[in-house]
Amino acid sequence: MHTMLTLDLSHLDGFVSQEQLTAMADEVAAAHAKLYDSSAPGSDFTGWVRLPEAYDKEEFDRILKAAKKIRSDSEVLVVIGIGGSYLGARTALEIFPSDGPDICFVGCSLSPNEIQKVMRRIGNRSWSINVISKSGGTIEPAIAFRIFREHLEKKYGAEANSRIYATTDKARGALKSVADKNGWETFVIPDEVGGRFSVLTAVGLLPIAVSGTDINELMAGAAEAMEKYDLRSMDNPVWQYVAARNLLYRQGKKIEIFCNYEPSYTFFGEWLKQLFGESEGKDGKGIFPASVQLTTDLHSMGQFIQDGERILFETVIYVDDTGCDVAVPHCDDDGDNLNYLAGKPMSFVREMAFQGTLAAHHDGGAPAMVLRSPKMNARTLGELFYFFELSCGISGHVLQVNPFNQPGVEAYKKNMFALLGRP
Ligand code: PA5
């Protein structure tokens, strides 16, 4: 077993006690069991729980082959998708930038500027499209796909069909029909895996594989996490995290701020916000997920976290070894008075900022949990994805909501389509 994350609860001192955590065991156990109970709310959408071992190996090989082809025939890959069909791949790409094609994301807004920017970015280079939509009918990616497909067909004619990869439902939806009609290579988003839990399906895996990141390692990290975090006791860090965040919520800490100290993890915060926001925010309940990037946001949001309304707690994702370090140089004149740090690595300065911030926020009434990852690699990212997916599934059941539906997102669509005059 190589899983490596550690959860530190010491900064909950005075807010959540060991006794309170222990007392949550039965509640968390019952919530965990619901993920395997076919009569539990949302039980049709728990395919992600065993996904790291139960994924389609034949399709996985096709993903690797398609990625190889795209890397060899395309200087640009345009990935079209939104929400759960976008955030996971973008998260991984921000952490591990592509060493192959330039990968652009579009279809995650209704901004004509974004379309134009990506068009310019493609320029005269060779390119392909990966369009991702489980329903096949979401308006943002559908419009973007219509535009980029036309653009691709103008350049390549009939060859365009071998440059479009569609990730969608196995049988239903407009995208599946048009893909079959045109002979595009398709990848499946399994019925039992909802969008925000789909990063370890072709939704995330194809763009990640094209970027050059080892998706075998990503899946291996998730598989190890799946085994390790299935432990049914309060020794399980997932149980501790779930219990603590629900205890904090019950004492009025209604906002969870996901913090990171590594800018390339900023998008991980976006992925987490969708995961928890869409899973828990319903029936008038839920912890509001927010995110900050530190130390950057200590100079913007730091004031509120330290001193504003005491309704928040922090969950810090801290990566120890980000793969490089830079020492503070010595300067003879020491005009900036920084020679006391000369020779010290920036990672040391960051660690001290992190420790100082944790203590200050705790003293100011903002408790924190720290999830530490020793390294920044595909394996730990796989583990992180799974840690939070499992935490979210269990936590939603502790909160007594259906963590796997999203009825609230329909309301605006109804109004929008009425205004657009959809027949
Ligand atoms: O998590 C979800 O279900 C949503 O965020 C969807 O992923 C998002 O709305 C995109 O849907 P689709 O993949 O059907 O285009």
Residue 39 in any domain: the answer is no
Residue 45 in any domain: the answer is no
Active-site residue among 19, 299, 410, 414? Answer: 299
Residue 269 in any domain: the answer is yes
- Please determine, for residue 209, whether its predicted confidence score (pLDDT) is greater than 80: yes
Confidence of residue 219 (pLDDT cuts 50, 70, 90): very high
Are both 72 and 199 inside the same structural domain?
yes
Order across the sheet with 312-321: list the strands. Answer: 6-8, 368-375, 312-321, 255-260, 288-293
Are both 64 and 159 inside the same structural domain?
yes
Residue 189 in any domain: the answer is yes
Which residue has a Cα nearest atom 9 of ligand 1? Answer: 83
Confidence of residue 2 (pLDDT cuts 50, 70, 90): low
Are both 188 and 296 inside the same structural domain?
no
Ligand 1 atom closest to the Cα of residue 196 is: 1
For the segment 303-347, what is each residue's pLDDT rounded down to a tens digit? Answer: 999 999 999 999 999 999 999 999 999 999 999 999 999 999 999
How far apart, in whole angstroms, are the C-alpha atoms of residue 62 and residue 387?
27
For the segment 38-77, what is each residue's pLDDT rounded down to a tens digit? Answer: 999 999 999 999 999 999 999 999 999 999 999 999 999 9
Active-site residue among 185, 278, 280, 389? Answer: 278
Residues with CB under 6 Å of ligand 1 are 82-85, 133-135, 138, 141, 194-196, 278, 406
Q: How many domains does the chain have?
A: 2
Domain that holds residue 67: 51-213
Ligand 1 atom closest to the Cα of residue 81 is: 15
Mean pLDDT of 197-219: 98
| Mutate which of 44, 91, 138, 282 for ligand 1 pocket (most atoms within 8 A of beta carbon) | 138
Per the annotation, the verdict on 154 as an active-site residue is no
Per the annotation, the verdict on 413 as an active-site residue is yes
How far apart, in whole angstroms, are the C-alpha atoms of residue 135 and residue 176?
9
Are both 263 and 175 inside the same structural domain?
no
Are both 190 and 324 inside the same structural domain?
no
Residue 309 in any domain: the answer is yes
Determine the pLDDT at residue 310: 97
Per the annotation, the verdict on 278 as an active-site residue is yes
Are both 209 and 223 inside the same structural domain?
no
Are both 202 and 227 inside the same structural domain?
no
Ligand 1 atom closest to the Cα of residue 141 is: 15
Are both 199 and 231 inside the same structural domain?
no
Ligand 1 atom closest to the Cα of residue 173 is: 14
Residue 154 in any domain: the answer is yes
For the segment 347-364, what is each residue's pLDDT rounded down to a tens digit? Answer: 999 999 999 999 999 999
How far apart, in whole angstroms, are the C-alpha atoms of residue 70 and residue 267?
24
Distance 134 CA to ligand 1 centre (A): 7
* CATH classification at residue 10: 3.40.50.10490
Residue 265 in any domain: the answer is yes
For the segment 133-144, what is each residue's pLDDT rounded down to a tens digit? Answer: 999 999 999 999
| pTM passes above 0.85 | yes
Mean pLDDT of 383-389: 98
